[in-house]
Amino acid sequence: MGRHMASGHLLSCALLCVIAAPVAAEPVAPPAAVAPRADLATALFPTPQRVEPHKGQLDLARGIRLAPPAGDEGAAKAAGLLRGWGGDLFGRTDTAPPLRFRRVTGMAREAYRLDIGPHGAEVQASDDAGLLYGGISFWQLATASGGGTIPAQSIADGPALGWRGAMLDSARHYQSPRYIRAFIDWMAAHKMNRLHWHLVDDQAWRIEIKAFPRLTEVGGVRQPATAPGAPPLPDYRGTYSQDELRAIVAYAADRGIEIVPEIDVPGHALAAIRAYPEWGMGVPVPPGTEAGWGVFPWLYNSDEATLAALETILGEVMAIFPGRYIHIGGDEAVKDQWRASDATQARIRALGLKDETALQGWFMSRLARYLEAHGRAAIGWDEILDGEVPPSVTIMSWRGIGGAIEAAKRGHDTILSPAPALYLDHVQAMHPGDPPGRGGVISLASVLAFEPQPAELSPAESRHILGLQANIWTEHIRTEARTSFMAWPRLSAVAEVGWRGHGSSDYPAFLRRLMPQLERLRPLGLEPSAGAWTPAIAVEPGADGRGAAVALSVQGDLPIRYQIDGAAPKPYVGPFVASDGAEITAWALLDGRPLGTGAARRIRADALQKRESRALETCAKKVDLLLEDDFPAEGPRASFLIDILAPCWIYRGAMLDKVDRIDLAVGQIPFNFQVGKDRDTIRFRAPKTPEGEFEVRLDDCDGPVVAMLPIAPAAAHPGVTRLTGMLASTQGRHDLCVTYTAAGPDPLWAIDSIQLFQQEPK
């Protein structure tokens, strides 16, 4: 399943604890008088290399007069950015103290020096990026000060790694130009410098190509898949004109960010082949195939006419994107169609190649040399190392870090972008209400701890490591708000690692800088996830059948404080018992103070034995996804944790004393996954009724059946349906394995929740 299935005005940062937590059951106000003014020592983000304090301070009461030197376009752009982000603070031109920009020679790329004294401040750098980053650091200090004073100091700073990037997939789900600009602002505020823009894939072709207009006319639209019998969803469409793209490229360049477009070959080609079938292998495309996810078998052919068309496309791409790099993909090219083609086999022989893998190497080399002849450099995913490609090609390592190690040893520049460590389509937490994505939590702390310098490389080989990049694949991220939620603040950790050049296990130190950074970005439109510091509140029946046993947890092993019914807060040291009707509120702590708005849950006796989908476990953990229902077209939809290759769930430690009934809330979703031969491995027990039935087994998935719930009542309903059945009498705690019988995998049935009920007293 590979990389896609295996993803202004001045603001006071005086409050540390104001990051919203959409996962909380109810908004919770932290205890009073625990949110002091942010410490200016932690205002800079990412962590600077060196800060030297001086005597005195700079008073911002009159604002700051921006003073770029005449004729210095880079300094003028840096000043313009600060004016846009800082509003009135940077709009003064009278007697306010100046922020000067001075270009000097001899400093490293992107490095800067920022000197702040009582009479003003000055940024020194050798290049535009350094002037920009010095200005951004001053903006960070000014916002943290709340427009008050900044201590006099000198900051000598610069990044350890030259590539600090994010990949945004706009092929699977389109984001508006306005959103792309906002995303670029958020990156710039983190001093990131590469936006890898995934513009084409099997599902859509988003970039206007004037020589081939059908690429967007046909390839830019699809009808989303729905389960059999469900109402159709409206067409999904969205493309970028060349004028829109040029404007975005210029906007990014003004913020120190190079956009790297990706035109994926020879696989991930379905959208292009739908538009121009002569570029494919002559294999028909069944209607609606483009609505699927996964690894598709359709490839470009290797004919001269097709390669000439791809070169024409790349020519237009280069005219839009002036940066050095063009990404040409090369991943997940299933070669079955090449193997089955007599013409392709003849082509392999005529070129004197060994096999289809060598043909892909030749194919990629042909396009890489075309780019090189035009002064550009190609990037490809690490599969292209399987064939011979020119040394000038940069390798993006996604199948772990092995590709980067091999590339560096073979003399290729390389970028670390490994799955799953830096794949931000994985969920950040399993809180109720969080958006869907790939299963398997990738936490903020784990991204912060990522090491971008493989120990297996020598110092000479390590010089080929350009940096790191996190990828935001959007198969299951269909809105812009969800894109922001999934990307941030984990991209903040990527920025920190790239700037410092190494991972960190000091999670609290990172959070001290992160909180004011996220707060200052709220006026720029960023609404990040708070899942990393929002406690999870788990409940189950008490051991003696009275009340509820409550367990709290939070990522990064942060301390937790909780209260019951508004009583005095207590430090959490382990599970505790709460009575029916009690309200539990909890906060993670940083330096003894609450982070965010916390979480809340009211104890209800009738819900102690209810598990939502994401609180269950899948049985085999082959391809876990948190999938969204295909119904309704508008409004909220359910989301289900499901292993699409083995739909089976485990309810751990169910208390079955006096339980005689089980309810399953279930939904159906289309099997729109290109999984090749893996589809043949999806097995179900034979159904006893035409629609099949859910089976509940005791202790393990081959254990005795203790409940059977026919699917028929749900089969005609496109949304979530509640099925009820009797549960065989059992005592004590047991695991329950829930699966279903079916003739095949389409539709997939999924569980929204499981609830157990005690028998009514006679």
Q: Distance between CA 599 and CA 397 in Å, rounded? A: 38
Q: Which residues contact 340 (CB under 8 A, 6 or more apart)?
A: none
Q: Is the peptide bond before 489 cis (omega within 30 degrees of 0)?
A: yes
User: What are the two backbone dihedrals, phi and then psi, of residue 107, each rounded to the nearest 5 degrees?
Assistant: -90, 155
Q: Exposed, middle or buried by CB within 10 Å (0-12, 13-18, 19+), for 533?
A: buried
Question: Strands 325-329 and 258-265, how do they pair?
Answer: parallel
SS (H, E, C) 528-563: CCCHHHCCEEEEEECCCCCCEEEEEECHHHCCEEEE
Number of helices (H), then strands (E), belonging to the chain: the values are 18, 38
The DSSP letter of residue 18 is: -
Point out the catalytic residue in the list 4, 173, 196, 268. 268
* Sheet (strand 120-125) strand order: 50-59, 149-157, 112-117, 120-125, 98-103, 65-67
Q: Is 623 helix (H, G, I), strand (E, B) or coil?
A: coil
Give the integer Cα–Cα distance in Å for 59 and 532.
Answer: 36
Task: Dump the DSSP string for 171-184.
Answer: SSS---HHHHHHHH
437 burial level (CB within 10 Å; 0-12, 13-18, 19+): buried
Distances (CA, A) of 30 to 17, 33, 140, 568: 8, 9, 26, 12
Residue 428's alpha-carbon distances to 59, 425, 438, in angstroms, are 40, 9, 10
Structure tokens, 28 = 């919770």
Question: Which amino acid, one-letter code, is at 106?
Answer: G
The arrangement of strands across the sheet holding 536-541 comes to 536-541, 548-553, 576-578
Q: Residue 125: which region, alpha, beta or left (left: phi > 0; alpha: psi -120 to 50)?
A: beta
Closest CA to 403 of 357, 335, 464: 464
Instruction: Establish whether 54 is a catalytic residue.
Output: no
Task: Give CA separation, 251 vs 77, 182, 265, in Å.
Answer: 10, 10, 28
Q: Give the bridge partners for 659, in sequence order.
A: 758
Beta bridge partners of 381: 396
User: What string of DSSP letters covers 410-425?
Assistant: TT--EEE--TTTTBTT
Helix (H) or strand (E) holding 306: helix 304-320
The catalytic position among 122, 201, 208, 628 is: 201
Alpha carbon distance 560, 552 (integer Å): 8
DSSP structure string for 635-651 = S---EEEEETTS--EEE
Q: How far is Cα 151 from Cα 705, in angstroms, rounded to an integer?
A: 70
Residue 476: active-site member: no
């367990």: which residue's tokens? 551
DSSP string, 441-481: ---HHHHHT---S-TTS-HHHHTTEEEEEEEE--TT--SHH
In whole angstroms, give the CA distance from residue 572 to residue 570.
Answer: 6
Q: Is 332 a catalytic residue?
A: yes
Could you list the active site residues? 201, 268, 332
